[in-house]
């Protein structure tokens, strides 16, 4: 049987600040003594007796404190179940969620799901915010069907979901690739009558439609959003840019950027990157777009954005295809200077264009350089170099160190 040490002994052990108020010191002493008992004796008759001796009343505050302390998860589970059987006490959503978080952290998925079911079947009030938290936890555990089941159970009996609640479900479905279900949730949300889509909802839906290739639907939602008085975020504008460029509507994309700036929505580094990539693709048939892309790169620098390898890669590729090799090399050197190195993809693009224009020795030098810098060549790099070597052979040319096949044999393809 345990022996409670005197308050004086415990105060000396656990109260380093002797100037603290007597009331605060007393509360802290009781907490520390009970925590020690739980750590030593776990949960059982001894711990129950300690509650009586220390005159700790079983209420929501006490349950939450026990669930927060650093004791074994089984101790928390047993205490939680014991407390739920006390007369004049019922767990509320706060205590349920506190245990659910503990079980989630401990990886006890089965026990967590059982606790969530008990919470839903019980009489405690569940708010839309509580429902959102439950959905997030189940989504994190990859329990999508169970999250949907709980959502509809609580929605039908305990609370009316808010836009935030629907957004939690939508985000979970997006994370798990259930894109068609997202549209169903959106229609259901609109039919609620008291719950309307917000900026996050539209952002998620536009993203989903873009991934499904339903570009017209994405554009309609974008227009609907503005008609409902909501202001698109930079992320939404950027997604629309990608959709317009993909369908070859370059002028509409550029008009969208002007609208974005007129509305006071500042482009992000992702917006600039999407613009440059889109203009690069359009630049295959219209070199004026390449010039606009180059200006955008300068604008990014003026605004203090960090150098973006993806943007540089797109422009270097565009300049290479336009046979402006010197300009492409200037950008490549600029990227290395600003970033200290470059990505394997950018090296691959440079190697590809050097090979195409017959500068194979320079391409091989770049290949050696990237390995020395610890930038591991990827499949695109090897393909680019092999293409250059084959092109040289077709013209019957040789390198200083021997014919092209000797160079191929020397490549480290491990």
Task: Determine the pLDDT at residue 42.
Answer: 77
Specify whether the CB–CB gap between 214 and 230 falls below 8 A: no
d(CA 277, CA 334): 18
Q: What percent of the chain has pLDDT over 90?
A: 27
Residue 42 lies in a domain: no
- Above 50 in pLDDT, residue 293? yes
Residue 179 lies in a domain: yes
- Above 50 in pLDDT, residue 30? no
Task: Determine the pLDDT at residue 295.
Answer: 85
Q: Whose CA is closest to 382, among 360, 367, 397? A: 367
Residue 237 lies in a domain: no
Residue 145 lies in a domain: yes
- Above 80 in pLDDT, residue 304? yes
Structure tokens at 332: 């490549």
Residue 405 lies in a domain: no
- Of residues 337 and 263, more confidence is placed in 263
Residue 223 lies in a domain: no
Mean pLDDT of the chain: 80
In this predicted model, what pLDDT tens digit does every residue of 210-246 receive, in sequence order?
888 889 999 999 999 999 999 999 999 999 999 999 8
The boundaries of the domain holding residue 174 are 126-194
Poorest-pLDDT segment among 81-85, 271-275, 293-297: 293-297
Residue 147 lies in a domain: yes
Residue 157 lies in a domain: yes
Task: Name the band, by pLDDT with cuts 50, 70 and 90, for residue 145.
Answer: very high
Domains identified in the chain, total number: 1
> What end-to-end distance do the CA atoms of the chain give, in Å?
66
Looking at 18-177, list the stretches that DSSP marks H as alpha helix, in order from N- to C-terminal side: 22-41, 45-53, 60-68, 73-84, 93-106, 109-121, 128-140, 144-157, 163-175
pTM score, whole prediction: 0.66
Task: Determine the pLDDT at residue 183.
Answer: 84
């Amino acid at each position: 049987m345990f022996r409670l040490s005197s308050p004086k002994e415990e105060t000396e052990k656990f109260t380093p600040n002797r100037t603290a108020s007597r009331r605060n010191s007393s509360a802290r002493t009781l907490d520390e003594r009970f925590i020690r008992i739980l750590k030593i004796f776990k949960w059982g008759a001894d711990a129950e007796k300690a509650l009586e001796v220390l005159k700790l009343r079983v209420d929501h505050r006490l349950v939450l404190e026990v669930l927060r302390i650093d004791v074994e998860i089984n101790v928390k589970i047993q205490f939680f179940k014991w407390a739920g059987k006390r007369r004049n006490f019922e767990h509320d959503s706060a205590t349920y969620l506190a245990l659910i978080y503990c079980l989630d952290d401990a990886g006890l998925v089965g026990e967590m799901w059982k606790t969530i079911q008990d919470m839903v079947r019980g009489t405690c009030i569940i708010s839309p915010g509580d429902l959102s938290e439950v959905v997030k936890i189940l989504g994190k555990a990859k329990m999508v069907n169970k999250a949907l089941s709980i959502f509809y159970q609580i929605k039908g009996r305990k609370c009316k979901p808010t836009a935030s609640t629907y957004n939690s479900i939508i985000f979970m479905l997006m994370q798990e690739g259930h894109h068609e279900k997202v549209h169903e949730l959106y229609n259901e949300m609109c039919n609620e009558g008291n719950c309307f889509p917000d900026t996050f909802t539209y952002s998620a839906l536009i993203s989903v439609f873009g991934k499904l290739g339903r570009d017209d639907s994405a554009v309609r939602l974008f227009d609907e959003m503005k008609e409902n008085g909501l202001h698109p975020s930079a992320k939404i504008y950027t997604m629309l840019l990608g959709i317009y460029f993909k369908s070859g509507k370059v002028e509409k994309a550029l008009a969208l950027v002007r609208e974005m700036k007129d509305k006071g929505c500042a482009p992000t580094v992702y917006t600039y990157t999407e613009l440059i990539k889109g203009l690069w693709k359009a630049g295959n048939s219209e070199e004026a777009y390449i010039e606009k892309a180059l200006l955008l790169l300068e604008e990014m620098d003026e605004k203090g954005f960090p150098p973006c390898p993806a943007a540089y890669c797109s422009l270097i590729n565009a300049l290479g295809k336009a046979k402006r090799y010197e300009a492409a090399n200037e950008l490549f050197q600029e990227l290395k200077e600003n970033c200290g190195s470059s990505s394997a993809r950018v090296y691959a693009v440079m190697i590809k264009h050097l090979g195409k224009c017959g500068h194979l020795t320079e391409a091989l030098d770049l290949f050696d350089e990237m390995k020395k810098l610890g930038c591991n060549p990827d499949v695109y790099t090897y393909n680019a170099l092999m293409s250059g070597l084959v092109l040289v052979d077709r013209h019957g040319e040789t390198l200083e160190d021997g014919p092209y096949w000797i160079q191929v044999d020397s490549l480290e393809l491990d």
